[in-house]
C-alpha cells in the first residue's frame, strides 16, 4: 500500500503537542461545537485538564488533526471502545476550528481513521452515533460509506426539544469497495 497511513490530502493524524491544550480549552467554550460532538451536557474545560489528559489505553486511539498546508490544529479523530476479540470499535470526530468546517477536512480525516482502523488495527466494524440535527456530519459519514443501522428515538434533549440519535457503521468489506 503506497498511501501514507497518517496523511491525507488535507489533514494529518498527529500526536498531541503540549501547545494544543490552549486550543482545545478554547474549543471547549464553543457550545455549538460541543453540542454537535457529543450528547453529554456542555461544560467548558481548563487548559490544565487538557495538559493532564493521557491516552494510554489499548481500547482507544486518539489523534489530533493538523492541516497539511499550514500545520494548524483543527480538530481530533478517535477510535474508542475497541473490542479486540470482536474486531469492533466506535469512532468520533470533531472539527473544532469553525474556519475548517464544511470544506472537506472532516471527510479527509474520516478516510484516514477508517484506513487506520481497518488496515492497521485490523478491525472489522467501526460504528458511531450522531445526533439527528447534525446533517453535515451525517452527510460526511455517508460519503465515506457509513450505513444507517437504526435510531435511538428522542434520546437527546436540547433546549427543551427531543432529538433522535442515529446509529451508523461501516464494515471492512464496505470500506474496501
Q: 121 vs 53, 101, 131, 140, CA distance in Å?
A: 23, 28, 27, 22
Q: Please check whether residue 152 is in contact with residue 164, taking contact to mean a CB–CB distance below 8 angstroms.
A: yes
Q: Choose among 11, 118, 24, 18: nearest CA to 72.
A: 11
pLDDT tens by residue, 116-144:
999 999 999 999 999 999 999 999 999 99
Residue at 6 is within a domain = no
Residue at 55 is within a domain = yes
Q: Please check whether residue 68 is in contact with residue 100, taking contact to mean a CB–CB distance below 8 angstroms.
A: no
Q: pLDDT band at residue 44, thresholds of 50, 70 and 90? A: confident
Residue at 4 is within a domain = no
Per-residue model confidence (pLDDT) at position 43: 83
- Residue 172: give its domain's CATH number: 3.40.630.30
pLDDT tens by residue, 67-103:
999 999 999 999 999 999 999 999 999 999 999 999 9
Question: Could you tell me the residue range of the domain that residue 27 belongs to?
Answer: 11-176
- pLDDT: which is higher, 36 or 155: 155
Look-up: residue for cell 501547545? 19
Residue at 97 is within a domain = yes
Residue at 2 is within a domain = no
Residue at 88 is within a domain = yes
71 — phi, psi (to 5°)? 60, 35
Per the structure, the count of domains in the chain is 1
Amino acid at each position: 500500500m503506497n498511501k501514507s497511513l497518517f496523511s491525507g490530502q488535507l489533514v494529518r493524524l498527529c500526536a498531541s503537542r503540549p501547545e494544543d491544550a490552549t486550543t482545545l480549552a478554547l474549543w471547549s467554550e464553543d457550545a455549538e461545537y460541543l453540542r454537535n460532538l457529543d450528547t453529554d451536557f456542555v461544560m467548558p474545560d481548563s487548559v490544565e485538564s487538557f495538559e493532564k489528559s493521557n491516552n494510554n489505553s489499548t481500547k482507544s486511539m486518539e489523534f489530533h488533526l493538523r492541516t497539511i498546508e499550514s500545520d494548524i490544529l483543527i480538530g481530533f479523530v478517535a477510535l474508542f471502545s475497541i473490542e479486540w476479540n470482536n474486531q469492533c470499535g466506535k469512532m468520533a470526530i470533531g472539527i473544532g476550528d469553525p474556519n475548517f468546517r464544511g470544506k472537506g477536512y472532516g471527510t479527509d480525516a474520516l478516510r484516514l481513521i477508517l484506513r487506520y482502523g481497518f488496515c492497521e488495527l485490523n478491525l472489522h466494524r467501526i460504528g458511531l452515533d450522531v445526533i439527528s440535527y447534525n446533517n453535515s456530519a451525517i452527510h460526511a459519514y455517508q460519503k465515506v460509506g457509513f450505513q444507517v443501522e437504526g435510531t435511538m428515538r428522542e434520546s437527546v434533549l436540547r433546549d427543551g426539544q427531543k432529538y433522535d440519535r442515529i446509529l451508523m457503521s461501516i464494515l471492512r468489506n464496505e470500506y474496501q469497495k
